[in-house]
Structure 1
Amino acid sequence: MTRLEELVGIRSVTGEESEAVECCRRWLEDAGADEIDRWDVDMATLERDPDYPGREVERDVVPVVAAKLVGDRPGPTVTLTGHVDTVPPGNKWTSDPFIPRRDGDRLYGLGACDMKGGVVVAVESFAAIARRGRDFAGELQIVLVPGEEDGGTGTLAAIRRGWGGDLVIITEPTSRAGSSQIVIAHGGALTFTIEITGRSAHASIAPEGENALDHFWLIHQALKDIEQSINAQETVDLMLALGTPYATNVGKVTGGVWSASVMEHLRAEVRMGVALNETIAAAEERVIREVLAKADADPWLASHPPTVTRTGGAFGSAAISGTHPLVTTLADAAAEVTGQRPANIGVPYGCDMALWQRVGKSTPLVYGPGDIRQAHAPDEWVSLEQVEVVTEVLIRACLDLLQPVMESG
């Protein structure tokens, strides 16, 4: 059984990652890491952190593992990182999502693409460089975390522990048209819960009540107006190429108690985008302000204002320069291995890149095997050839990056 098959075979839905983290710890021990750090962080401690990103899943602890190789001379710190958690499987799978299945070049299983393939790439790259000895400058780290799917608690825990450094490569899936590209910009996302109060009445005299659903349509239009506005303000070409980089989605609506009663309460869970130039706090304030301003123009909602509360995980946005040495060195390595230079791209979804940049003060990018269209999908799969190719690229790129830092002047 390959490492990828072993990891895919371990259930690690968000909140249940300890076994997968322990598996990775054993791999890093076998690889001959100079230092391994395996720890659990109490969730209550993270909740007190000013940069706590929130979460979707209740849990008591956050299990993390990290390791390092120390070169024989001073130099930069390069960190490979990925998350071991997956979303829950849906009910449309045609085979058991927790039993890895090969079919030609594809390995099927929950998390194969997002992102156990990338985790294995990071481990294999780390192990290969460990076998070469310590004839390099600086330090190579690997940080494997839980809790990415619901906000990034694992990465925050690693940063607060002192892991990370100058350069960070996140091995999330970035493939387009069969080859991995380099993500240098991504949007963010926040989840809000909106609650609207109506007034109940018997359905036979419904006009004497106030149906919360009727008032929700005004709020829904406000959300679409916010979406249109934030996308119209975008000026970065990589994000404009996405069409709608900051999408709004009303994912869940509940309300009412009886078909013959006017709906007196409605609750909606909504996903809103965070622009490249926004902090999470600024995006939260913008959404709440604009929704309440729209509500204030409606007589019923003005006197019965909706509540708009940020809930769940928060994903910030991030961007780095396409000419940064991390980007160009990785692109050079990919061109040498594959004969094709990867493109720099932007993506509309959030990931741990924002935490590494905004909280960890590192320079991060995303590059890994798999196509995001396979992530969270039934019968998720990753290309085994792509896993091997990306591993070779990262070995070459890391060795090129682990060079002495030249003093300016």
Structure 2
Amino acid sequence: MVALNTENPPGNEMALAPFIGEALRKTGMDVLIDEYALGRANVVAKFHNGASPVFALNTHIDTVPAGDGWTKDPFSLTQEGDTLFGRGTCDCKGSLASMLEAVRILMASPESWSGTLLAVFVGDEEVASAGARHYARDCGKIDYVIVGEPTSNTVFSAHKGSLRPVVEITGVTAHSGTPELGRNAIYDAAIVTGAVKKHHEDVIRSITHPLVGNASLCITRVSGGKADNVVPDRCELLLDRRLVPGECEESAKADIINLLSGLEQSHGIKARVTAYKPTTGGATQTDLNNAVVQASLTEAEACGVSKPGPYGFQGACDLVHFREAGASGVVIGPGDLSYAHKPDEFVTIPELTNAVKIYVGIVRRLMPSSNVQANT
């Protein structure tokens, strides 16, 4: 799977989807390879084994680009002792491998569980979650989900969301020899920048959540100017707003628009949101007392995870889309998040095997075999 390049952009999950599909078919599951856009694919497998619940194992097929700085070939799995190196080993083909093995074990002993098992492996998590959004629009009822991400096999029950507004500041162009005849959009952008920083410090960072910490607002990109000798009449800023569970995207959007409106009133600055760049999605959480959280904590601890959680992701992932579809869920997977997206990314074999045990244990705990009925 490491050798089949699914860097995103462009994604090209179709390079790996047939391999995943065949592995799932061999277990006896019904498999759909859903190419929802050219070269972009989800792999969705299903097996009905008696009465409810419906339980999904999910992770993503795409990886971030390999980039520079590797001491090993990023697309050739390299083993050194118990450590496996390669792009995606940690994020998230390690989780994918462990989930495929968990499915194989569960399908080999259907008498040990009852319900409907789903394996949902999606595209585009690293950019805009197009695969998860596409699946969740018409996925039907799901009771529980485990989302595979590198958590060192600890249990994460909440994650932040992200919102990225593009803000355009407009001025008046002029010759740079007579700047007083224009209005410099970059100077106005500097005032906007200061206001954004102050708003984060005074307001946004006081919005907190016990698992994921504080919300945030910052500027991550700036561009402006069109010639060396022209006063710029346009400057563009990209804002990054991180939301915590309980926050609403629409309220966050309104807050930013109000901030910009206040600057127009106080400074005459013309600034507006022109677009929102695609992101993974909003924030979410599953209640600590939910059965899937409690089962996950129990199974992780049984596999030797000394401090199983629950914790909260500082970033975003696809859990939110399953939660919006009605599922209760957690995020668990092999690999250390601090090594994801970096050169010489790695995962260890013990983490992979423990993840398999945890996944299988959670499924069996929440899908007890006493309810097994004849397969249909």
Asked if TM exceeds 0.5, the reply is: yes
- Contact 1:280–1:314, Cα closer than 8 Å, also in 2: no
CA apart distance, 1:80:
0.5
Q: CA RMSD in A?
A: 2.2
Query: For residue 296 of structure 1, what is the aligned residue in structure 2?
Result: 265
Pair 1:387 & 2:352 matched: yes
Identity %: 24
Aligned to 1:216, which of 178, 186, 189? 189
My pick for the range that moved more, 260-269 or 22-31, is: 260-269
From the superposition, tell whether residues 95 and 294 of structure 1 become closer, same or farther in structure 2 (CA, over 3 Å).
Answer: farther
- Contact 1:227–1:248, Cα closer than 8 Å, also in 2: yes
Query: For residue 314 of structure 2, what is the aligned residue in structure 1?
Result: 348
CA apart distance, 1:308:
4.2
For each residue in 1:244-263, what CA deviation from the matched residue of structure 2 results, as whole angstroms up to 9, or x when unmatched?
x3333422222212333222
- Contact 1:75–1:403, Cα closer than 8 Å, also in 2: no
Aligned to 2:128, which of 139, 151, 155? 151
Pair 1:133 & 2:110 matched: yes
Pair 1:230 & 2:240 matched: no
- Contact 1:121–1:171, Cα closer than 8 Å, also in 2: no
Letter in 2 for 1:169: I
Aligned to 1:81, which of 43, 58, 64? 58
Letter in 1 for 2:12: E
Query: For residue 66 of structure 1, what is the aligned residue in structure 2?
Result: 44
Alpha-carbon separation, structure 1, partners of 2:297 and 2:16: 31
Letter in 2 for 1:309: A
Aligned to 1:306, which of 268, 272, 282? 272
Letter in 1 for 2:363: C
CA apart distance, 1:323:
1.8
Query: For residue 341 of structure 2, what is the aligned residue in structure 1?
Result: 376
Pair 1:400 & 2:362 matched: no
Aligned to 2:77, which of 78, 96, 100? 100
Mind listing any 5+ residue stretches in structure 2 that lack a counterpart?
A: 372-376
SS at structure 1 position matched to 2:16? helix
SS at structure 2 position matched to 1:40? strand
SS at structure 1 position matched to 2:242? strand
- Contact 2:91–2:150, Cα closer than 8 Å, also in 1: yes
Query: For residue 19 of structure 2, what is the aligned residue in structure 1?
Result: 23
Query: For residue 11 of structure 1, what is the aligned residue in structure 2?
Result: 5
The TM-score normalised by the length of structure 2 is 0.91
- Contact 2:56–2:117, Cα closer than 8 Å, also in 1: yes
Alpha-carbon separation, structure 1, partners of 2:119 and 2:157: 20
For each residue in 1:319-347, what CA deviation from the matched residue of structure 2 results, as whole angstroms up to 9, or x when unmatched?
11112111111111122221635111112
Letter in 1 for 2:242: G
From the superposition, tell whether residues 261 and 372 of structure 1 become closer, same or farther in structure 2 (CA, over 3 Å).
Answer: same
Mind listing any 5+ residue stretches in structure 1 that lack a counterpart?
A: 1-6, 43-59
Letter in 1 for 2:339: Q
From the superposition, tell whether residues 116 and 160 of structure 1 become closer, same or farther in structure 2 (CA, over 3 Å).
Answer: same
SS at structure 1 position matched to 2:302? helix
- Contact 2:112–2:368, Cα closer than 8 Å, also in 1: no
- Contact 1:191–1:313, Cα closer than 8 Å, also in 2: yes
SS at structure 2 position matched to 1:390? helix
Query: For residue 328 of structure 2, what is the aligned residue in structure 1?
Result: 363
CA apart distance, 1:66:
1.2
1:318-357 matches, within 5 Å, as 318-338=284-304, 340-357=306-323
For each residue in 1:218-265, what CA deviation from the matched residue of structure 2 results, as whole angstroms up to 9, or x when unmatched?
21123223433122032x32233xxxx333342222221233322222
CA apart distance, 1:355:
0.9
Pair 1:191 & 2:164 matched: yes
Alpha-carbon separation, structure 1, partners of 2:224 and 2:192: 15
Alpha-carbon separation, structure 2, partners of 1:181 and 1:204: 61
For each residue in 1:61-88, what CA deviation from the matched residue of structure 2 results, as whole angstroms up to 9, or x when unmatched?
64111112322x3131111000001122
Letter in 2 for 1:329: A
Query: For residue 53 of structure 1, what is the aligned residue in structure 2?
Result: none
- Contact 2:200–2:218, Cα closer than 8 Å, also in 1: no
